[in-house]
A = this chain, B = another copy of it.
Amino acid sequence: MTDTETRAETGFDSAEHQARLKELYRDFEAAGMTLLWLTREGLMPFRSQPRAVPHLWRWADLLPLAARSAELVPVGRGGERRAISLGNPGLTGDPYTTPTLWAAIQYLAPREDAPEHRHTQSAFRFVLEGEGVWTVVDGDPVAMRRGDLLLTPGWAFHGHQNVSDAPMAWLDGLDIPLVAETDQGFFEFGPDQVRNRKTPDRSASERLWGQPGLTPVALAGTRPASPLVAYRWAHTDAALAAQLELEAEGLPGVLEPGHAAVRYTNPASGGDALTTMRTEFHRLAAGAATRRSRTSASSVWQVFDGTGSVRLNDSGHQLERGDVIAIPAWTEFSLTADGQLDLFTFSDAPVFEKLNLLRTEFS
């Protein structure tokens, strides 16, 4: 007996039935109640169905816009940062890059300061180019230079100062959408100017935690976020180069042929550097390509150097230095390098790994 037969037999399709049903649905609506049988497919799709779409922003477009804003808008208390977020075209109404991630270009004019504050959102800065800015994290001034990753773990006070005569722009990554949509946001102002104006080459964080495998005994004990807040380009570059060299020697290290990858990790736990975001750097040797894959994590990528192309579902794009790509969950994705191709990426994978929800498929 099919559903249709059942309905016929029981009068489920009669006019009277339809009238009573209409009345019932009105009553449900009045009570703010929703019927799963009418909404199941949208609420619980057969597979991940993001509203967000794959998207690519050109650095060549972003940087001039940011520069123009520096001429017209000061950085100050309240607005806090000259940060301009990359809104996913699919997520209309919200300035979100993916449903959990917020990527922005931040711009600091010469000799400019961004005031101190702290928030529960985790944040990082990744530097495509330039130098001259120090970000002060819980009082510790941390130099920012091309290729560096700088962390601001949740609830750490931080401000920035540009001590140079050149402007500086970089990529900001935060978990703003995740925190906003789940009501976990708390925020506090700090001093209007950074509390420590020193400009050391190496932060206290690096001096304490920046020697490989060495833990200060006084500070041992796993922390949720990394006590190391600066990951320098020279180390990242060396680690990636080593993986490709070891591949040539027939030794393990690369993720797949011609594809080196490092994850920025918390030296006190070996886990992700930030609790809500995974940060990695990938290098493809000239001519190499990644397998096509899709994952339920969403991610953002920035081309650091080199040329190549990206495939997002059925559409391909040439990549240039600085380009930023948003990749929603379950987007089929692959990279191909022309010359050597270097990319920074961050994703929400740790969230779903911890919740036992993360899925990844290779095709």
Tell me the bound Cα distance from A6 to B224 in angstroms: 41
Q: How far is the CB of A80 from chain B (nearest CB, A)?
A: 5
**Chain B CB within 8 A of A332 CB:** no
Tell me the bound Cα distance from A268 to B268 in angstroms: 9
Q: How far is the CB of A60 from chain B (nearest CB, A)?
A: 12
**Chain B CB within 8 A of A89 CB:** yes
**Chain B CB within 8 A of A248 CB:** no
**Chain B CB within 8 A of A35 CB:** yes
B72, A21: Cβ atoms closer than 8 Å? yes
**Chain B CB within 8 A of A77 CB:** yes
Tell me the bound Cα distance from A211 to B62 in angstroms: 32
A270: chain B residues within 8 A (beta carbon): 215, 222, 266-270
Question: Do A36 and B253 form a contact, CB below 8 Å, given A31-B65, A48-B186, A182-B178?
Answer: no
B298, A183: Cβ atoms closer than 8 Å? yes
Q: A127-135, A303-311, A348-356: which lies at the B interface?
A: A348-356
Tell me the bound Cα distance from A38 to B81 in angstroms: 10
Question: Do A72 and B20 form a contact, CB below 8 Å, given A99-B183, A263-B220?
Answer: yes
B263, A217: Cβ atoms closer than 8 Å? yes
A46: chain B residues within 8 A (beta carbon): 186-188
Query: What is the interface size of chain A, counting residues whose CB is below 8 A from a CB of the partner?
Result: 140
B216, A81: Cβ atoms closer than 8 Å? no
A184, B35: Cβ atoms closer than 8 Å? no
B184, A296: Cβ atoms closer than 8 Å? yes
Q: How far is the CB of A35 from chain B (nearest CB, A)?
A: 6
Question: Do A265 and B179 form a contact, CB below 8 Å, given A95-B34, A186-B48?
Answer: no
Question: Do A354 and B354 form a contact, CB below 8 Å, given A50-B183, A68-B24?
Answer: yes
A266: chain B residues within 8 A (beta carbon): 213, 270
From B34, B37, B80, B253, contact of A216 by CB (8 A): B253
The chain A residues found within 8 Å of chain B, CB to CB, are 3, 6-7, 10, 12, 17, 20-21, 24, 27-28, 31-41, 43-50, 52, 57, 61-62, 65, 68-69, 71-89, 95, 99-100, 102, 104, 119-121, 154, 176, 178-188, 204, 206-220, 222, 224-226, 228, 231, 235-236, 238-239, 242-243, 245-246, 249, 251-255, 261-270, 273, 275-276, 280, 296, 298, 328-330, 348, 351-352, 354-357, 359
Known A182-B329, A217-B255; 16 more pairs at CB < 8 Å? A36-B85, A37-B80, A37-B82, A39-B95, A43-B180, A44-B176, A204-B251, A206-B212, A208-B239, A210-B213, A212-B212, A212-B228, A213-B264, A213-B273, A218-B254, A276-B357
**In the complex, the 9 A-B pairs of residues with the closest C-beta atoms, listed nearest first:** A37-B79, A34-B95, A207-B242, A183-B329, A211-B235, A217-B261, A224-B356, A36-B83, A354-B354
11 contacts between A and B (CB under 8 A): A10-B74, A33-B87, A38-B79, A43-B95, A43-B180, A120-B357, A207-B246, A210-B212, A211-B239, A215-B263, A219-B252
